[in-house]
Structure 1
Amino acid sequence: MSSSHALKMRLAPWALLLVSASWGLAFVVMKDAIERQSVNSFLFTRFLVAVIAMFLLKPTVIQSINREVLRKGFIAGLFLAAGYILQTLGLALTGAAVTGFITGLYVVATPVIAALVLRVRITAFTWGCVLLATVGLALLSLKGWNLGYGEFLVFLCAIAFAAHIIALSKWSNGLDVYAMTIVQLTTCALATGVISLIQGYEAPPDRNGWYVVLFTAIICTAVAFVVQTWSQAHMSATKVAVILTMEVVFAALFAVVFGGESLSLRTLFGGVLVFAAMFMIVLKEA
């Protein structure tokens, strides 16, 4: 292993942790925006702005979008778009806390899919970290629930996000990261755009709404998915899934710091368990 590759393997988990932090912060800053604009319209605007910004920053990227990048980026983008759309549909039928927990079950779905489809051997230690993260997610999110159609849709969303993680882990290495990210986000923009246009597109209502769109589009989408696509070329899908569960922890933390919400002992303990799982798998999982 070259020293350059070894350095990338050490940096990738911490880069991915920053992605989790940006997504956790997005929950707080998006709260008001999506109350005043339909979710699919918001997602379409967010993905479209991200794609436009990436093209403006590097217009020559079009030369790197070959047939392989287009095919693999499109498939990965379909998984990502399906995750967001199914999550939105499920959220309309069930509670936010339950939606957050079931979405986080991609931490379980990822190693299962990796084992069944890719024949990846998952160690007992890794399964232990997955279980620890799942328990932590439950403590963070669940306050009683009933199984129904909404929960089923969100479960499909978790599978879609797991499939996206698996796809990036298998395909990111050797392909142009920037080009792959643009193809994925363009696919998401097209999918959410069709739905929002059918429902009746709503533009951000005011300047603050556009500020939220710009922040989530540039930082939480363009930059975040470039980092995720790059990181997944240097680490296993299961490790990625466990690290990304920190999004829920950061969301709770930022809700307390910036949103004025209270932090219960149960929530704190759940966050500690997710953090412990993330920390152990970053240090130990091969």
Structure 2
Amino acid sequence: MTTRPRTFAATLGLLALTAVWGSTFVLIKDVVERMRVVDFLAVRFAIAALAMLVLFARPVWRLPRGQVGRALLLGVVYGIAQLLQTWGLKLIAPSVSGFVTGMYVVFTPILAWLLLRERIAGVVWLAVTMATAGLAVLSLRGVSVDPGVWLTLASAALYALHIVGLGRWSREQDAFGMSAVQVVAIAIICLLATAPRGPALPPDGSAWLAVLYMALVAGAGAMLVQTWAQAHLPPARAAIVMTTEPVFAAGFAVALGVDALSWRMLAGGALVLGAMYLVELAPRRSVALEAEALHHEV
């Protein structure tokens, strides 16, 4: 597969995982009303880690020592981000949490420039601005800057750091092993957060089904897709594609009858999708037009 098809496949992969993440909002809201947030996260990622180790024991064993260390570090960063985001969510409205978490789209190119000296094209900054505006239209009904906002903003910065680190260190041949090690690290962080009494199990069958879906599809599967996809995408582009999560969340909410279609959903979704078009489809069209012009000149 050539570079361009791989890039396109990576973009589709990120879109698929953000659709999965978007489908989980209703499930999470229902489950965390019946069990502690830290218990939910600990059980979810413990199951995901066990599944990954069973499926990918050989890739983990073959992973170079340096990559094991990097994957552990990335998993710790992601696990702390999950905890900060969830603790922040307890103090602020879910809509505000969604917007502030989505600010990783701003932090990612800044961190890529500061840490990697990666040049960020003007069209990417325009896309970042559009995506941020789209998130605001989708999510905000007024903001009060309280401790919950600061906790969530810290989680967004850590998510951005994870995206940048994954973009720097992920290699296609290491995707299985690195994904498994990251999920193990996340599970350890979340299990430590349940100390001293340890995690409580889901209270009933429907909660177990939700946790299993979150663990295997939205946890292990999503981490695998993200790790593979970011071997083929720059961090800033990956972050912008991933801002489609609240668009999918709104779509699922409407489809399931939880929410009504509104102008905010349409306008905010259009801005986010427009941002993705700028960084993913517009450059391809430009290259195609240049090639066509060159062909006509010849």
Query: TM-score by structure 2 length?
Result: 0.91
Cα distance, 1:153 vs structure 2: 1.0
Match of 1:87? 85
Unaligned runs of 5+ in 2: 285-298
Within 2, Cα distance between the matches of 1:198 and 1:94? Answer: 26
| Aligned partner of 1:277 among 275, 278, 282 | 275
- Of the two, which has the highest radius of gyration? 2
Task: Pick from 7, 10, 13 the counterpart of residue 8 of structure 2.
Answer: 10
Does the residue aligned with 2:23 lie in a helix, a strand or coil?
helix
Displacement, 1:184?
0.7
Call closer, same or farther: CA 1:49–1:259 in 2, change over 3 Å.
Answer: farther
Contact 2:167-2:234 within 8 A present in 1 as well: yes
Cα displacement string for residues 227-278 of structure 1 (whole angstroms, at most 9, x for unaligned residues) = 1101101011000000101011101110111143112212221111111111
Write the letter of the residue equivalent to 2:69. Answer: R
Indicate if the aligned counterparts of 1:51 and 1:186 stay in contact, CA closer than 8 A: yes
Distance 1:199 1:99, change over 3 A: farther
Shift of residue 124 of structure 1?
Answer: 1.0
Aligned to 1:118: 116
Q: Tell me, yes or no, if structure 1 residue 74 matches structure 2 residue 59.
A: no
Correspondent of 2:262 among 248, 264, 274: 264
Question: Deviation at 1:221?
Answer: 1.1
Q: Is the 8 A contact 1:126 1:285 kept in 2?
A: no
Aligned residues: 284
Match of 1:136 in 2: 134
Residue 216 of structure 1 deviates from its aligned partner by 1.0
* Structure 1 position 199, deviation (Å): 6.1
* 1:92 Cα deviation after fit: 1.7
Partner of 2:156: 158
Query: Could you tell me how far apart the structure 1 residues matched to 2:79 and 2:201 are?
Result: 20
Q: Deviations over 1:18-68 (max 9, x none)?
A: 010000001122221111111111111111111111222233234223311
Within-5 A mapping of 1:101-112: 101-112=99-110
Q: Secondary structure at the match of 1:197?
A: coil
> Residue in 2 aligned with 1:60?
58
The percentage of counterpart residues that share the same residue type is: 38
- Alpha-carbon offset, residue 285 of structure 1: 5.1
Gaps of 5+ in 1: none
In 2 relative to 1, CA 285–224 (structure 1 residues): closer, same or farther, beyond 3 Å?
farther
For residues 70-124 of structure 1, the C-alpha deviation after alignment (integer angstroms, 9 at most, x for no partner) is: 1100111111112101101211222111111000000000001111111111111
The residue identity in structure 2 corresponding to 1:276 is G
- How far the C-alpha of 1:284 sits from its partner, in A, is 3.1
Provide the C-alpha distance between the structure 1 equivalents of 2:138 and 2:211, rounded to a whole number of angstroms: 27
Residue of structure 1 in register with 2:230 after alignment: 232
Report the TM-score when normalising by structure 1: 0.95
The answer to which of 144-153 and 99-108 deviates more is 144-153
- Once the two structures are superposed, residues 120-165 of structure 1 have per-residue CA deviations (whole angstroms, 9 ceiling, x without a partner) of 1111111000000000000111001211221111111100000000
